Amino acid sequence: MKNLPKNLIDFLEGSCYISVANIEKKLVSRYDKTVKYLFRLNDWEYVETVVMSYRHGYSICVSTQVGCKMGCTFCATGKSGFSRSLTASEILAQIESAQKDLNIRISNVVLMGMGEPLDNFDNVVRFIKLVSSENGLNIGMRHITLSTCGLVPKIYELAELKFPITLSVSLHAPDNKTRSMTMPVNNRYPVETLIKACRDYFDITGRRVSFEYAMIDGVNDSDNSARKLGELLRGLNCHVNLIPVNSVKGSDFKKSRLDRQKSFVEILNKYHITATVRRTLGSDINASCGQLKRNHTQEGGK
């Protein structure tokens, strides 16, 4: 920037830095062109980002923390501990690096990578404002989804901001016994409290909540579980995404059989709840969060 005055350059050098997401590894799926990045941040921490290509455009799944404190037992990120939260610019840098590398424009953002977005509330809110700003990447809030394991007080804080984003809640079980087994956060904010917060979120924002439900063979995929889930969500304007669980190193959870997935959808529909089984993208490149970083770390990376 030789065209800037020397004192401005000195000032910038002394007070600013540029967040970059350097490509450490890049995997491209042979089946569906899903791209997964392992990005290296300024301090040599690593995060994962996935770019998915759909008919309506490109969607990016960004990380909000290096690791996660929440310790869900089925999650590769949860197993690798917590290092630090990302700044708003580090979350943005993932999108900028991917767009530049692939020469594309991203149209949808999901905060569903490594980390718990609501455990990094201020930076995530700043990121949402920046990414949706006309002076920023100009990706409208209706094209942004934030996924949370259910930090109830933060759900209320988010509701008060009345952002037209989609809130996606990782439920994964219809009762406290099963949910606490896989998600320790449930001991703090049990199912009833969480669902009440989701109902209130809808009342405050007018935005339909979506639920993630990772189907684990023999754990949460019985007809009885589906009926309990139907009862729990009765009357709530919502959508349920069923995801056959991805197996991760160090846990022996297996995905539910196809007939279980079908039966779940049918039972939920009887409760007038829309449910879809999520298509698995990038299955050959371990596209679900935390796995690439874990492998890299265990290979002797940081």
Binding residues vs ligand SF4 (CB under 6 A): 68, 70-72, 75, 77-78, 115-116, 149, 170
112 makes contact, choosing from ligand SAH, ligand SF4, none, with CB < 5 to 8 Å by partner type, with: ligand SAH
Q: What is the smallest separation between the CB atom of 67 and ligand SF4, expressed in angstroms?
A: 8
**Rounded Cα–Cα distance for residues 302 and 298 (Å):** 8
Give the SS3 label for residue 272: coil
For residue 25, what is the enclosing H or E element? strand 22-28
**Is residue 288 close enough to count as binding ligand SAH by CB under 6 A?**
yes
Q: How many of the other CB atoms lie within 10 Å of CB of 117?
A: 28
Map residues 4-43 to x or -, x wherever contact with ligand SAH holds by CB under 6 A: ----------------------------------------
Strand-pair partners of 215: 244
**Is residue 191 close enough to count as binding ligand SAH by CB under 6 A?**
no
Residue at token pair 């679900």: 288
DSSP per residue, 156-210: HHHHHHT--PEEEEE---SSHHHHHHH-THHHHS-HHHHHHHHHHHHHHH-PPEE
Whether 75 is catalytic: no
Q: What is the smallest separation between the CB atom of 289 and ligand SF4, expressed in angstroms?
A: 6
**Rounded Cα–Cα distance for residues 132 and 37 (Å):** 23
Map residues 122-161 to x or -, x wherever contact with ligand SAH holds by CB under 6 A: -------------------------xxx------------
Q: Is 119 left (phi over 0), alpha (psi -120 to 50) or beta?
A: alpha
Q: Which of residues 192-251 bind ligand SAH (CB under 6 A)?
A: 212, 214, 243, 245-246, 248
**Site size for ligand SAH (CB under 6 A):** 16
Q: What is the smallest separation between the CB atom of 74 and ligand SAH, expressed in angstroms?
A: 5
**Is residue 116 close enough to count as binding ligand SAH by CB under 6 A?**
yes
Whether 231 is catalytic: no
Active-site positions read 48, 289
